[in-house]
Structure 1
Amino acid sequence: MDKTNTIQFKKKPIAVLISLTLGFPIPIVTAQEIEEEVETLRLETITVEAQKRKQSMQTVPVSVSAFSGKQLNQAVIKDIFDVAGLVPASSAFQTQNVTNTSFSIRGIGTSSQNFGLDPSVGLYVDGIYRARQSSMVNNLVDIEAVEVLRGPQGTLFGKNTPSGAILIRTVAPSHQAGDNFIEGTIGNYGLVNYSAAASVSAIDNVLAFRLTGFGSQRDGFVSEVNTGDDVLNDRDRWGGRLQALYTPNDDVTLRIIADYAEINEICCAAPVQVSNAQAIGIEGKFGTDSLLSQAPFNATIFDGSDFFDYKVALSFLPESRVEDSGLSAQLDWDINNQFTLVSISAYRSFDSFDNIDSDFTDAHLFGTRNDSQQHSFSQEIRMDYTGDKVTAILGAYYFRQNLDLDYSLYTGEQFNDFFLTGFAQGAFNGLLAGIDALNSASNGLIAPSAPPAPAFSSFDHRAEQKHESYAIFGQIDYQLSDELTLTTGLRYTDESKDLSTIFSENLPDDAAFPSFFSSVGDPNSPASIVPGTLLYGAGLAGNVLTGIQAGTIDITTPSGQAALAALTPFQTLGWGFNPLGAITAGRSNISDTLNDDQITGTLKLSYTPNRDTLIYVSYGTGYKSGGTNTDRITEGFEPIFAAEKSRAFEIGIKKDFPEQDLRINAAVHTTNVDDIQANTFTGTGFNLQNAGDYKTSGLEVELTWLPTDTIEVGVVYARVNAEYDNFMRGNCWIAYTWHTGITDPGQESSDPNAPNPYCNRSGDRPTGEPEDYAMVKVKKDFTISDNIDAYLVAEYSYTGDVVLDGSNDPFAVQESYSLLNVRFFMNFAKYNMDLVFWGRNVLDEEYINHVNFNTPLQEGKFNAYISDPATFGVTLRKRF
């Protein structure tokens, strides 16, 4: 039961404007509220649940963008990526597969590459926390509303997040007709979308059911030169939702939801951005692309200038599969006019599998396979109170999650050749030939050389994490006067994680894994050829062979037999793996327990000098728990990382000018994050750690203006200044240094012949976050006939330059770009039907999709994830 009052605007005898779409606040109202407002307002009352109760958005001291289901449908918004692109200071993008999805708000986000990370942006569907970010990538169908909250959510929401939250509400069962529909979409690249939903009243006003189903298929838009055209970045997904709504009386509501969805796609393409066939700034320096272009590999090589040809070359197509399901129950009991008891219980399961060609070439080098299962249970119970001057929420929250991960990096048929010819400039070939000659001369008494990196080897790990979280929270709004309201909130969170990772190194025929050497060494740097390195061992073995050939070593004597021990490593299968890098090195298992508790909260003061103005000041804190790096990382790196904590200060204004039909919402903000959790790929593994201190600040403006009865203008602008205040052990440039010989200025070591693996990244920008984002929308309504209304809308957005790599490598910058989307919408009132012709990125702007990376084991080379080209289609929706 809604007991809150909404702002009443000055009445005008003008019909309500239907749409405030695509990045601008739009109405999220009940059917009753629509009926009350439709005859009186042009600037609409926007109802949100950003504070877990229905409120007018113009009275909520929170930066929030809201989208109704109606507006999502009219704008043909199909997934969370479409939504995030319309919200200031937010982003969402995929990387190597559909299970690697990242969200950020105000420059603070979380890579989903590592399963040990909790998200910085909380994701909720019907009040249920989604622990895995990738569970949000499927189609948005039968949605009541989407809200994007900016700033720490350290009081009211589930798992307590440091940068924001995305709230999705689905359409509930109904006893009335009108919200049933069937919809179909066709578009270029063979796009076919279909969805439908219907409610059934089993017992009038007591029991209703709703069934929702959808599917989406589309060809890819990236070709693989050996397989065919338009095979990568396809769409193949479907799902359904079954609900029951039980209302035995006016005071009790029970809603039960069961859902299931699948994704099975060939995702995601990462063409070559920078080739290392030949160094850009060093004449005569050649890299692995030059090697792979020759026999025995004969690989297809791209030079980077053809990045936007939408072509890749792989030895096999990637697989990416997801199964997401859940069951939830929400009970609302209005005890009296002041107290409401709310209970939300949920069980969720999320299984994913991906298998990719992780050398990103059509040479048969290596791949990675990732199989994970996540099961979670959550329970929230709270008491909501509404009085004359006080509203309050008091609640408790419990979350439990079991996460199991099986990961494998495996070598292909040509990896041994790649090792022998690609590392240390083939320095081992003469040594191995000498050992084999000695084997022949001794009639087999001396063992032959062994493959250093044999095919069909695998480097596996199994990670298990048991996670429990308890929280008690409360928030009070106290009306100090008619103009002033004080909001205070507090949350106590207790987190515990049991972490276990078991590593294994598996050679063909169950051979024992050797660990004679710890690193390769650099033949151009004599200081690095020291005991323990592979090149040092090769030097000893070479001296022995030279002595045997010169007759100074007699292998029949005890001293000669002892000297032969220098050859033993190179006669042992797999001798090259351990020094190659962290991803093929042996390492010890991890077993640990993390326990942490935090107190977070919020303090806000709201000032409403009149019914059209809200000015607020807020301070809030957020938190997400620590964890373990579930990847195979260098033994010296600390696998455990600490919790991430944020402190944010914000000043905002929400102002309506009814006479001018103008609405302006704006906020300035600053957030400090302690121990931010950073995850960056180095070319031989992911470096996940607490980066140190991080700061972001900025300005957000959302403007809506209705200059005439038929024209709407909207403007969104966000400025985000984000940088690492203190990040002493970050990643170093790799590609730029390889191509130019210029050392990363953040390098901690002063000896150019002995650089360490760390660089100071203090003052650098984070990955994937533009400093500036702006969008302008113009919409024109018109009438075609008595039964056909229409509008034409154009949206032009600008995204500032984006740093693509955590090391801030000079090669890793996407320049600013602009996108244009257009739609032509028609409503056929007689048939209760909508028809939308739409186009996205209609100018076919080419840009990198937020991220590039150092190509594994191919120093000096960058691959990057490509953006969608121009897409067009038509959508037909019939309501009944």
Structure 2
Amino acid sequence: MTGYQLSLRTLAFAASFLAGAAQAATADERLNTAGAPAQTAKPVKDDNEIIVTTTAQKRFENIQNVPLAVQVVTPAQLEAQGVRHFQDLGKVAPSLTIRTAENPVNSNVSLRGVGTFAFGIGVESSVAVTVDGVPLAFQARAFTDLPDVAMIEVLRGPQSTLYGKAASAGLIKIMTTQPTNDFHVKANTLATDDGEYGGNFSVTGPINDKLGYVFSASYSNWGGNVRNVIDGRDVNGRETLSTRAKLKWKASPDVVFTLSGNYMNGNTTVGRPFIRMTPGAVLRRQPGLTADVTLPGITVDPLNQKAANNDRAGTKYWGWGTMLRTDINIGKMNVLGLTSYDKFRMDDYIDHDDTAAPGTYGRNIQVGAFKSRLFTQEIRLLSPGTDAFRYALGLYYANVGFQRPFMRGPAFSLANWYATSGSRQIAGFGQIDWEFVKNLTATIGGRAQNERVKYTFLDKNLAVPASFAGHASDNATTYRLGLQYQATRDVMVFGSYATGYKGQTYDLTTGFNSNRAAAGPIRPETSKDKEFGVRTQFFGRRMTFNVTYFDTNYTDLQAQSIETLADGSSNYRLTNVGGLNTKGLEFETAARITRDLSVNGSATYLDATYTSFPVAQCYPLQTPALGCVAGSPSYQNLTGTRAIQSPEWKGSASVEYAPALTEKLNGVFQASWQYTSSLHYVARDPETFQGAFSIFNLSAGVRDHGRRWEATLFVNNLFDKQYFQSLVNSSGNFNVSSAAGSANAIATQGVLPRDFRRYAGIRFGVNY
């Protein structure tokens, strides 16, 4: 789709979201959330007024005064939308789409249709994730529970100037509970009718007038919603234990140290049911290995929730990290230091054939591990946020290393290799905001960095094992220019131009050879972004309505493609494929209609298109008539095609009504709606097409008038709507025979979301 020739129907759809913004929190909620950052808890004159703070520009500010596309999500909004895990955040952030997979490393996070669709270690995500200001080594580390959240910020569009090279498409900032001056206990438990149970708690308060602390822990367990017919167990589930502790020391009125540590341990199970298969299809051309033999007791259809895994399938992971935060006030200036170390390991096990076929073809397995370590050091110098001339300056250092042993076999798709990857980054950044005319503020920011990357690769699946090694260095700069005008107390307009950068890398996956090594690193991916926005408030700031227009061009897009090398051979590898343009409109609104009734919601209209992608891999079963150009290898031209994982419309809305029942009790009624229009998980592939769907959640309960406790019954996916969080085309493993010979068959598997089926449960929480 080109341009913005919106029909009346489209405009009506957008108007339907004028009932809220998933970014908003009322002052009442903010003051009663013990986990909220202390800086946000400021008194307000009217507790119906909507006030939200953000740290998008590395300082606490009212979100309505920030000239960025940023959304703030509170724990209450996560509960209303049934979000308890990182992979479900797309339900409350319409510009965000998360595609899960059998392995978190193969999952993808995209903002505005832009993400990294590659599986190699050392390949950076286009969407960075930070926890308490510290980046995670790689995105898979984030795929777990959200047990100790104070708030989550989703920054859309290139954020490379302030947040570095892994934020070329955006950033997800997770803020956890901070030490408080008063003693607080917060705890929650949950149980569902389909076997999920868990709980979390946090205790925070003072030890003395100089020391404060936080300790939190959580545990969750869910067997899953897929039955493995081989052992009779539920799969597609997860189990997670996590803990976090913080100690805050006020060494003097102007010097504060906060030391924190975290530990996590968990596992997942994999089950990907076959939902479509050609009748009579056999596994890997093996006579007799039809579906009734390879998938015993399973009826293949779109509602299938059974899998047949005769080998282990899942992951087991653990990790820990520590951070020291130093805050020093020097006159009006603040110096902030962040020092962190993180270590993580995940072992992955896959039943590669996804069947229980007899013989070696039914015992093809995939086994590997991901090991990461990350050290970072950041120093920031911040001026007072109320001055007409404001600045944020900083230095950043990071050193990250990965290891990946991998083995697959013994019957087909053989692989056995060991790879390492590392990078060292040094950067300086800064941003200046100057109100040079009353109510008119100019912004200029820039970042300069140097990065060195290196790798080793040992292929042990050869008669004579082959090893490769390499390194590269790169300098890069990004910048941001902006102008904002505070037209009235409650109306702000802004425009900005920003550049983004994602660093060079090596494609360390199966098939790495001398040709790939000789080709050198994949070039950096760059972007140029234009944004215009309006931030408004009405009715005594009891309602907000924000609109953002964006138009971003990505050049040297890093994606999987076919590359013809100098010796005439071809590689299917991660490379630079050309370009992508993403543009659209983002709507956010919230209203506190009365003290007891509030509504919020948000929506994104997205047009993401490959502007240059001339040589892409054909999807399985694609014929010349469907655009697959015969060759060695065959290819298709995706130029002008809508980007994968980019629905045209995506939105969410919720309403809460909490009337007084008695002098001490309030009722709590919540309803939420999530809508996603159709999308492809693989470009043009009809087997990975997900149609449009809506999900409704409903809850009702009672709470103490002071919100000290709350009990709620809930039903998620109220109307039992089935959809898939990802679809996998496995036709390469199945064949049908005819007079013309053997050909690949339809064989499609679904990755089921948590709410694939309607489920109900109860939540109980206390907050003292």
TM-score (structure 1 length as normaliser): 0.77
> Could you report, residue by residue, the CA deviation over 1:189-216 in whole angstroms, capped at 9, with x for unpaired residues?
21111111112532x2201222111100
Q: Contact 2:503–2:525 at 8 Å: present in 1 too?
A: yes
> Could you report, residue by residue, the CA deviation over 1:214-264 in whole angstroms, capped at 9, with x for unpaired residues?
1001121101121115x2111211011121100122211111111000111
Hey, what does 2:243 align to over in structure 1?
240
Matched, 1:789 2:661: no
Q: Contact 2:423–2:454 at 8 Å: present in 1 too?
A: yes
Q: Could you list the runs of 5+ residues in structure 2 that have no partner in the other structure? A: 1-18, 31-35, 564-569, 735-743
Deviates more, 1:132-141 or 1:297-306: 297-306
CA distance in structure 2 between the partners assigned to 1:732 and 1:94 by the alignment: 22
One-letter code of the match for 2:373? H
1:587-602 superposed matches below 5 A = 589-602=467-480
Q: What count of residue pairs does the alignment treat as equivalent?
A: 716
CA distance in structure 2 between the partners assigned to 1:170 and 1:769 by the alignment: 30
Hey, what does 1:469 align to over in structure 2?
425
1:126-165 superposed matches below 5 A = 126-165=132-171
The CA deviation at 1:727 is: 0.6
Q: Contact 1:143–1:168 at 8 Å: present in 2 too?
A: yes
The CA deviation at 1:853 is: 3.1
CA distance in structure 1 between the partners assigned to 2:375 and 2:601 by the alignment: 41
One-letter code of the match for 1:794? A
Q: Contact 2:265–2:318 at 8 Å: present in 1 too?
A: yes
1:90-489 superposed matches below 5 A = 90-111=96-117, 113-178=119-184, 180-202=185-207, 204-229=208-233, 231-267=234-270, 269-277=271-279, 288=283, 291=286, 293-294=288-289, 298-300=293-295, 306-337=301-332, 339-363=333-357, 364-386=362-384, 388-411=387-410, 415=411, 459-489=415-445
1:740-759 superposed matches below 5 A = 742-747=624-629, 749=630, 754=631, 756-759=633-636
- Residues 365 and 297 (structure 1 numbering): CA distance in 2 closer, same or farther, change over 3 Å? farther
The CA deviation at 1:707 is: 4.2
Hey, what does 1:871 align to over in structure 2?
759
Q: Which has the higher strand share?
A: 2
Larger Rg: 1
One-letter code of the match for 2:688? A
One-letter code of the match for 1:768? Q
- Residues 652 and 746 (structure 1 numbering): CA distance in 2 closer, same or farther, change over 3 Å? farther
Matched, 1:800 2:677: yes
Matched, 1:665 2:668: no
Q: Could you list the runs of 5+ residues in structure 1 that have no partner in the other structure? A: 1-19, 279-285, 416-452, 507-511, 514-585
Deviates more, 1:94-103 or 1:693-702: 94-103
> Could you report, residue by residue, the CA deviation over 1:577-633 in whole angstroms, capped at 9, with x for unpaired residues?
xxxxxxxxx9x5432212211110111100111110110001111111121111113
CA distance in structure 2 between the partners assigned to 1:728 and 1:401 by the alignment: 34
CA distance in structure 2 between the partners assigned to 1:142 and 1:117 by the alignment: 29
CA distance in structure 2 between the partners assigned to 1:658 and 1:80 by the alignment: 35
Residue aligned with 1:81, SS: helix
CA distance in structure 1 between the partners assigned to 2:619 and 2:109 by the alignment: 25
One-letter code of the match for 2:538? F
Q: Contact 1:669–1:698 at 8 Å: present in 2 too?
A: yes
CA distance in structure 1 between the partners assigned to 2:24 and 2:766 by the alignment: 25
Deviates more, 1:296-305 or 1:220-229: 296-305
Q: Contact 2:20–2:602 at 8 Å: present in 1 too?
A: no
Hey, what does 1:852 align to over in structure 2?
728
Relative contact order higher in (CA < 8 Å, ≥ 6 apart): 2
Matched, 1:617 2:621: no
Matched, 1:628 2:509: no
Hey, what does 1:445 align to over in structure 2?
none
One-letter code of the match for 2:659? F
Residue aligned with 2:461, SS: strand
Q: Contact 1:853–1:863 at 8 Å: present in 2 too?
A: yes
CA distance in structure 2 between the partners assigned to 1:35 and 1:123 by the alignment: 27
Tell me which of 702, 715, 719 is aligned to 1:843.
719
Q: Which has the higher helix share?
A: 1
Q: Contact 1:804–1:850 at 8 Å: present in 2 too?
A: yes
The CA deviation at 1:699 is: 0.6
CA distance in structure 1 between the partners assigned to 2:39 and 2:397 by the alignment: 35
Q: Contact 1:681–1:853 at 8 Å: present in 2 too?
A: no
CA distance in structure 2 between the partners assigned to 1:377 and 1:32 by the alignment: 27
Q: Contact 1:174–1:199 at 8 Å: present in 2 too?
A: yes
One-letter code of the match for 1:375? R
CA distance in structure 2 between the partners assigned to 1:723 and 1:689 by the alignment: 18
Residue aligned with 2:635, SS: coil
Hey, what does 2:93 align to over in structure 1?
87
Hey, what does 1:45 align to over in structure 2?
51
Matched, 1:763 2:768: no
- Residues 22 and 362 (structure 1 numbering): CA distance in 2 closer, same or farther, change over 3 Å? farther
Q: Contact 1:196–1:212 at 8 Å: present in 2 too?
A: yes
CA distance in structure 2 between the partners assigned to 1:296 and 1:35 by the alignment: 63
One-letter code of the match for 1:662? M
Hey, what does 1:717 align to over in structure 2?
603
CA distance in structure 2 between the partners assigned to 1:31 and 1:343 by the alignment: 18
Tell me which of 608, 613, 624 is aligned to 2:486.
608
Q: Contact 1:670–1:695 at 8 Å: present in 2 too?
A: yes
The CA deviation at 1:490 is: 0.2
Deviates more, 1:165-174 or 1:69-78: 69-78
CA distance in structure 1 between the partners assigned to 2:641 and 2:92 by the alignment: 26
The CA deviation at 1:186 is: 0.8
Q: Contact 1:631–1:685 at 8 Å: present in 2 too?
A: no
Q: Report the RMSD for the aligned CA atoms in angstroms.
A: 2.8
TM-score (structure 2 length as normaliser): 0.88
Tell me which of 492, 497, 503 is aligned to 2:459.
503
> Could you report, residue by residue, the CA deviation over 1:111-153 in whole angstroms, capped at 9, with x for unpaired residues?
3632231011110001101121111122212222111101100
CA distance in structure 1 between the partners assigned to 2:704 and 2:204 by the alignment: 23
- Residues 247 and 709 (structure 1 numbering): CA distance in 2 closer, same or farther, change over 3 Å? closer
One-letter code of the match for 2:479? G
Q: Contact 1:313–1:360 at 8 Å: present in 2 too?
A: yes
- Residues 152 and 159 (structure 1 numbering): CA distance in 2 closer, same or farther, change over 3 Å? same
One-letter code of the match for 2:403? D
The CA deviation at 1:375 is: 0.6
CA distance in structure 1 between the partners assigned to 2:221 and 2:287 by the alignment: 35
Tell me which of 43, 54, 59 is aligned to 1:36.
43
Q: Contact 2:622–2:628 at 8 Å: present in 1 too?
A: no
CA distance in structure 1 between the partners assigned to 2:155 and 2:291 by the alignment: 55
- Residues 686 and 300 (structure 1 numbering): CA distance in 2 closer, same or farther, change over 3 Å? farther
- Residues 247 and 763 (structure 1 numbering): CA distance in 2 closer, same or farther, change over 3 Å? same
> Could you report, residue by residue, the CA deviation over 1:389-436 in whole angstroms, capped at 9, with x for unpaired residues?
11101111001011111011121xxx3xxxxxxxxxxxxxxxxxxxxx
CA distance in structure 2 between the partners assigned to 1:794 and 1:296 by the alignment: 42
Deviates more, 1:75-84 or 1:459-468: 75-84
- Residues 290 and 303 (structure 1 numbering): CA distance in 2 closer, same or farther, change over 3 Å? farther
Q: Contact 2:49–2:540 at 8 Å: present in 1 too?
A: no
Q: Contact 2:481–2:496 at 8 Å: present in 1 too?
A: yes
Hey, what does 2:566 align to over in structure 1?
none
Residue aligned with 1:118, SS: coil
